[in-house]
Chain A
Amino acid sequence: MSREDYEIVIGLEVHSELSTKTKIFCSCPTEFGGEPNTHCCPVCMAMPGTLPVLNEKVVEYAIKAGLATNCEIASISKNDRKNYFYPDLPKAYQISQYDMPLCEHGYIEIEVNGEKKKIGLTRIHIEEDAGKLNHDDYGRGSLVDLNRAGVPLIEIVSEPDLRSSEEVDLYLKKLKSILEYIEVSDCKMQEGSLRADVNVSVRKKGQKEFGTRTEMKNMNSFRSIVRAIDYEAERQIEVLEDGGKIDQETLRWDDVSGKTFPMRDKEDAQDYRYFPDPDLVAIKISEEMKENIRKSLPEMPESRKERYINEYKLPEYDSNILISSKYFSDLFEGATKICNNPKSVSNWIMTDITKELNEKELEPSDIPFTAEELGKLVVLIDKGTISSSIAKKVLDEMFKEPRDPQKIIEEKGWVQISDEGAIKEIVLKIIEANPQSVADFKAGKDKAVGFLVGQAMKETKGKANPQMLNKMFIEELKK
């Protein structure tokens, strides 16, 4: 038996922080960072006698996510307590949802090798995040910061429908883009606002039953997830091939060594003793509420793509890249509104902007300048105020210190010379300095013009308008 005789089965539990202003059960801010324990109050610190009150936006956002992923929305739902001890969990239970989640039975469509595939969603439920443990300088103790405790999360549980790390990558990207489009989460991976628990098992092709699965918790980079799945599937196949069996256990992925390690003592088999939280009341979702939320859903990526192809006449390839992130898509639409040159905006996003993001390991959400500023940059090129090589320098500047591109070129003195008198002066100067090229031209070598234009550009540090230079050289040389 070999690797090819096995099939990999993957299911994901994705936790996504909701972008509400306040926590799920109290009015503390959810803002990332901040001095330790300054976004806290007696409720999220679990002081005796305090009571949770559910944030209505959390319910709305979770339903929004459910509708955008084709889920059925419950008409009645509730919160349950999940009991376990850990120092980042001040109540010693997490308020979550057990048997009556807000959303169930949805799916997300991905495209694998040109074919559409539906990945089932078991459920989406709401819950609270835990705090953060820091280590003290001397390694003598741990320090608890509860700023994140009580930040609202949705957990999106997939069916075990994924069959390769590539499918997982596509699924996660699609899910992230949906959450961004409906504006319920900013999905900032570096800030941990999107994290996944990954369940992996393998089975022989054709076998009906699933193999025993292992779980890797709290992974927050798509790249690590892909690597971890490939490693873990390989490891399981090797164990089975050697006649061994897989233990159902929780593993820790180590990015540096590229290996998985057992994390928990098996005796501590999960036993969370869920029960309905008596401090909270039932959540009832009326048809009217559901319809109102449905109406508030923005235009989804597929529909935007159609528009880009039909209205803006962009190729499908370009359109796919633009809709891959809401931030790209919004940037594209906003800039196009200003400059009315969709193809040029799309090119800037797909080439120079993407290149800059990749080099700096940034995400589209990190683009510092506005759509308006990008639109203005394209206008400056289209009007001939700057050349495209200068525009690249302006874009660099916009990444470093975002401001109006017009201001940048004024400050830097990058305005293209398009004044006829000034151009003529340069042309005459260059002609005088290069008699050989003039002779070449007169002898029929048209290429000599290119050389002269090059010299003029050098002389003006790229600021002269190349089209005008070209035209005027020919005029002067023909005299």
Chain B
Amino acid sequence: MVVSKEEIMHIAKLADLNIQENEIDEYAKNLQDILNFVDVLNNVNTDGVEETMGVISNSNVFRKDEIKEFANRDVLLANAPEQEDGMFKIPKVI
């Protein structure tokens, strides 16, 4: 599988990255390397190996439905570049 220029641009857009024309080849090469590696993994013989859902074999890690209030809005908002009325202020969204 070869990564096309269009795919690079599409992925960059989805990831909200600003990629310059002269960077495309480099990204394509890096992504290609990753895909090649995944290809190796895809070809490993996994006959008889049980399917897993992630690297952690645990299941059913739950929390009780009990309220614990954090109650410190100032701390939560402390790093906001701008705030107003206890809310994060951001550029206007239509």
Contact = CB atoms under 8 A, between A and B. Distances in A.
A380 B66 CA distance: 43
Given A55-B65, A141-B90, A281-B60, 17 more contacts: A21-B66, A27-B69, A36-B86, A37-B73, A39-B69, A40-B73, A55-B62, A56-B64, A56-B65, A76-B59, A136-B89, A139-B92, A141-B91, A142-B90, A143-B90, A282-B59, A282-B60
B53 to A, nearest CB: 5
Interface in B53-94: 53-56, 58-71, 73, 76-77, 82, 84-93
A433 interface: no
A136 B84 CA distance: 8
A134 B87 contact: yes
Contact of A282 (B54, B65, B90): B54
A20 B69 contact: no
Interface string A262-291: 000000000101001010111110000000
A54 interface: yes
Interface residues of A, number: 47
The SS class assigned to the B binding surface is: loop
B50 to A, nearest CB: 12
Interface of A: 20-22, 27-29, 35-42, 45, 47, 53-57, 59, 76, 78, 83, 85, 87, 133-136, 139-145, 271, 273, 276, 278, 280-284
A276 B56 CA distance: 12
A37 B80 CA distance: 13
B14 A133 contact: no
B23 interface: no
A38 B65 contact: no
Contacts of B16: 85
A276 B54 contact: yes
Contacts of A141: 82, 84, 89-92
Contacts of A284: 59-60
B66 A281 contact: no
A87 B65 contact: no
Interface string B21-54: 0000000000000000000000000000000011
